[in-house]
Each structure stands twice: as structure tokens, then as C-alpha cells.
Structure 1
Amino acid sequence: MNGPARSDGLLTGALRDAAGRRRAASPPSLGERLGRALAAEWTKFWSVRSTVVALSATVVLSLAIDALATATEAAHWHQQAPFSRLTFDPTSLSLTGLLFGQLALGVLGVLVVSAEHGTGTIRGTYLAVPQRWLVLVAKALVFGFVALVVGEVCAFAAFFLGQAILHGTTPTATLAQPGVLRAVAGGGLYLCVLGLLALGIGACVRHSAGAISTFVGVLFVLPLIDQALPSGLRDTAAKFLPATIGAAMTAVRLTPEQAGEAFSPWVGFGLLCAYAVAVGLLAAWLAERRDA
């Protein structure tokens, strides 16, 4: 009686051990690989000094320019023409600093990728995670999360600071008013997606100076080129510029001229997301085909 039972027990144990060895030998799932890549990228992101410097610069620039712009407007409010007073948008004014904070966040987005290519450490990253597109996804998720948090903190802090400076001198806004919460939250979303666009540019160019120059060109040179175009073409092209999209997203009311040059805030945001996704897909395609 004990012989067959003992044999069955040994067979069951052997099968269980074999199944365990097969599970141990099987490659990790996509979710496991992504989780490991995210943990590695999170550690690398916070281990370099440029991260803290760039994030600090984003906050400081956003709030400093915001304070300067709102204080200047408050000081000259009594000199404003009636039309300027009618079209005055205190929400948009208090978010002016985001248009400068975007530079620092964009530079950080570039460095998240280009710094590793510049030092050659990207080779070790690709040895640990052979799927190069997975590395870019992990970098984008880590950076995107941080950029979203910092962007929203900057947007809401700038709004409350700006309204405090304007209070008692000019009309002010509150989050309960129509369109204000959308504009403030949209400012943080704009910074986040613009930073992801910069990350994609950095992954495509792979050189910090060249990628940062490209990013600055997209923000500031393209609008200058647009101004040199014939009037009909200029208005059409302006709608597709990230700078125009950002201005529409952070405004509660647009002047008639601005309204003719801009998509609605959420349409513009969708277009900006499409830019970031397209550049990211191009970067992933290039990463799989180029040497590290």
C-alpha cells in the first residue's frame, strides 16, 4: 500500500519541480520588463543634478515671470485703453510665466535621453533592456509623470500668485468662473506634453545641443517664420504652432485676432499630443535601427 502512494508522491513532486523550473526559465512578461525599466529610469532620473536644477528653474521662472507680468499690469492699469480693459484676461496674464518655464522643462526632457547618448551609458541601458522602444516608453512615463505634477503645481501656484498681485487694482478671476479651471489645468497639461515632445526630439537627435536648438526653434523660430508668410497662409499656419496652442489653452477669452489664429483649447491640446506621439514613434523607430 505504501509503495504506490510513495511513487505517486515522488512523481507529483518531480512534476511540481519541473513546472517550477520551467516558470523560472521562462522569460519575464512585458509587464515585468516594463516595471523593471520604470524602476531603473526612476532611479537614473533622480540621480543626476540636472533634474533638480531644471525642475527648480521651471518653478522659479514660471512664478518670477508671473509676478513681474501681473505687477506691471497692475501698475499701469489706469493707463489702459478701454478696449484693452474689455479684453483683459487675468487668468491668461497670471499664466504668462509658463511660457518661460517651458524652456527649462523642455531642456530636461531633452537631457533625459541625450545625456545618456553623450556619455555612452545608453549602451549599458540597452544591454539590460534589449527592447529599445521599451526604454523610451519607460523614460517617457517617468518624465511625463514628473512633468505633469510639476506643470500643474506651477500653473496653480502662478494663478493664485497672479490673482493676489492683481487684487484690488484690476479685475481678477477665481477657479469657479467659467473656463478658468480649464485654463489653469490646461497650462500644466501643456507643459507636460511639450516636455514629452522635447524628449522625443532628444531621442531623435541624440545630441543635447542639437536637440535643444531644435526645441527652441519649434517654440520661437517657427512663429517668426510664420509672421513672414502672406496673411492668408499666416493665419492658417499659426493654428498648428505649439506656441499658439499654448496661448489658447491658458486663456479664458481670446481677442478676435487670437481667436482667428487658434484652435479651440482641447482641439489644440489633441494636436499637441499628436505631435508628441508622432515624434516619439519616430524616435522608437530610429532607436531600433541605429547603433547606440
Structure 2
Amino acid sequence: MTAQLDPRPSLGAPTTLKVTQTRVIRSEWTKFRSLRSTNIALLVAVVLTIGLAALICGVTAAHWAHADAGERARFNAADRSLGGVHISQLVVGVLGVLLITGEYATGMIRASLTVVPKRLPVLLAKLIVFIAVIGPLMIASAFAAFFVGQALLSGRHIDVAISSPHALRMVIGAGGYLLLVGIIGMALGAVLRNTAAGISALVALFFVIPPLMDLLPNSWADNIGPYLPSNAGDAFWGSPEGAHLSALKGFLVLCVWAAAAVGAAAIRLSTHDA
């Protein structure tokens, strides 16, 4: 009697799945949406963007009758309704830092890089997931802030339509600016691999160094200040009055900052162990 072998594979036999960029993206999406801190940070960013717009525009409307001629001449309704962006950028930037440094703190990054030994697909997947979520959400929040703010300003007839000059560019630009801030924060987290260091670097870059430029000689401040990421961002999405750069140049400068930060993160990830 001869034994016959069953050509069908055993149901319990292990299967090897090929590592692809799509599967890495799915893995990063699972990690992104399963973190409670991520959902809280997103909610805070949205609330600040819209809530501060309502507060600022409500106060402006209430005190409009007492505003002097100079204040009225400088008033920009679209810019006023996007005032919350100056605060929510910190939340989005910190979220970007935490999405990287949190894995280093828990040691999860080692498991990720063991499964994906080429490493760079992990960084790319994180960026794709971050852009896919933060981009639409922040642009939608900027639109909501604009319309809420204009509704409050309409009582004093000082509101503007989305079709008015610069309004649409400012709203979309504000959402895009928040996304780029988050990307820079994520890259800083990947380079520094420490939450405190990453957040400190982010705060210094966007909130500490720009005011310090006023202490430098005018020639230095005029040649360096406009190219800092926060000032370039203001030129990109803010009111055109008083901007040192055009909106397009501001956008390009900000993109260069983001690209340089991501490039540094890629080099750090490729050349140093987790």
C-alpha cells in the first residue's frame, strides 16, 4: 500500500504576505485612527480654528461702533475670521511630532521597521495618511471659520463674500498652511526622536525665532525674517497688506522648509537605528 499525498495546502500553513506600500499605508492608518490622542488633537484643532474665529469676529462686531478711522482702514474681514489659525497651528504641529515620537517612546517603531526593513516606506506611509486626513479636515475647518466669522460680522455690514478679492486664497491657504506645519512637525519628530525636543524645536521655529528677528539689525531682519516658515506662511495665506513676499513665493518658501525637514527625516531614518 502506498500513501498518497494531498496536494492541497494545509489550512494551518503559514502564508507570507509581501510588504507593499499599500499594506504599509493601511497599517499606518490603523495606528493613526486607533490613537485617542490623535482624535483629541484633531478635535482641539478644529474647535480652536472655528471657535476663535467666532470669538474674534464677535468681539470685533461688538466694538465696531467704537473703532477709530485707522482701525477701520486696516480691517480685513477675511483675515479676522481666520485668526484661530495662529493658535491651531501649534496643535497640528504638535500632533505631527507626537505621531513619530510616540512610536519611539513605546518602542513600536522597532516593530514597524522590522516588518518594513527598507524604512522609507514607513515614513512615506505616515506622510500619506497625515496628508489625507489633515489636509481636507483643516481646509474644511478654515471654510467653516470663514463663514461663521462673516455671519457674525454681517450684523455690522462689514462682512465679505468668499468670492471677494483674496478671500478664497486665504481660506484654502490657511488650511494648506496648517497641513504644512504638521508635516514639518512630523519631520522634526523623526529627526529628533524625542517628544520634548521635537515640540521645543517646533515652538522655537514658529513662535520664538520670528519675534527675535526684531532685535537684529534691519538688514538682517529684512533679508532673513520673511523666509522663516511662519512669516512665509503669513504671506501665503494672510492679508496681502504688509507682506514682504507674494502669496506664491510664501507658499514656495514654506514648501522648501517642509521638503528640507522631510529630507532630513528620511536621511536620519535611513542611516540610524531606531
Same fold (TM over 0.5): yes
**Which residue among 30, 43, 54 is the counterpart of 2:41?**
54
**Which residue among 56, 70, 88 is the counterpart of 2:75?**
88
CA deviation map 1:194-251 (0-9, x unaligned): 1101100010011111101111111110112111111232122221122222322333
Residue 182 of structure 2 corresponds to 195
Residue 274 of structure 1 corresponds to 256
**Which residue among 279, 285, 290 is the counterpart of 2:267?**
285
Residue 101 of structure 1 corresponds to 88
Separation in structure 1 between the aligned mates of residue 174 and residue 160 of structure 2, nearest angstrom: 16
Tell me, yes or no, if structure 1 residue 70 matches structure 2 residue 57.
yes
Query: Partner of 1:56: helix, strand, or coil?
Result: helix
CA deviation map 1:270-289 (0-9, x unaligned): 11111111111111111111
Question: Unaligned regions of 5+ residues in structure 1, if any?
Answer: 1-23
Tell me the amino acid that sits aligned with residue 111 of structure 1: L
Structure 2 contact 188–265 (Cα < 8 Å) conserved:
yes
- Aligned residue runs from structure 1 range 139-288, under 5 A: 139-254=126-241, 258-259=242-243, 262-288=244-270
Question: Unaligned regions of 5+ residues in structure 2, if any?
Answer: 1-14
Q: TM-score, normalised by structure 1?
A: 0.85
CA deviation map 1:165-205 (0-9, x unaligned): 11121521111112211111111110111110110001001
Query: Partner of 2:208: helix, strand, or coil?
Result: helix
Separation in structure 2 between the aligned mates of residue 137 and residue 101 of structure 1, nearest angstrom: 24
Using a 3 Å threshold, how does the CA distance of structure 1 residues 228 and 106 change in structure 2: closer, same or farther? Answer: same
The offset of 1:105, in angstroms, is: 0.9
Structure 1 contact 95–250 (Cα < 8 Å) conserved:
no
CA deviation map 1:124-144 (0-9, x unaligned): 000111111111111011011
RMSD value, Cα: 1.7
Using a 3 Å threshold, how does the CA distance of structure 1 residues 170 and 253 change in structure 2: closer, same or farther? Answer: farther
Tell me, yes or no, if structure 1 residue 43 matches structure 2 residue 30.
yes
Separation in structure 1 between the aligned mates of residue 272 and residue 263 of structure 2, nearest angstrom: 14
Separation in structure 2 between the aligned mates of residue 170 and residue 266 of structure 1, nearest angstrom: 31
Query: Partner of 2:245: helix, strand, or coil?
Result: coil
Structure 2 contact 233–254 (Cα < 8 Å) conserved:
no
The offset of 1:161, in angstroms, is: 0.6
The offset of 1:84, in angstroms, is: 2.3
CA deviation map 1:50-87 (0-9, x unaligned): 11010001011112211221122112222222232122
Query: Partner of 2:20: helix, strand, or coil?
Result: helix
Tell me the amino acid that sits aligned with residue 268 of structure 1: G
Work out the number of aligned pairs and report it.
Answer: 260
Q: Kindly report structure 1 stretches of 4+ aligned residues shifted beyond 6 Å.
A: none
Tell me the amino acid that sits aligned with residue 264 of structure 1: S
Structure of greater Rg: 1
Tell me the amino acid that sits aligned with residue 289 of structure 1: T
Query: Partner of 1:176: helix, strand, or coil?
Result: coil
The offset of 1:252, in angstroms, is: 4.2
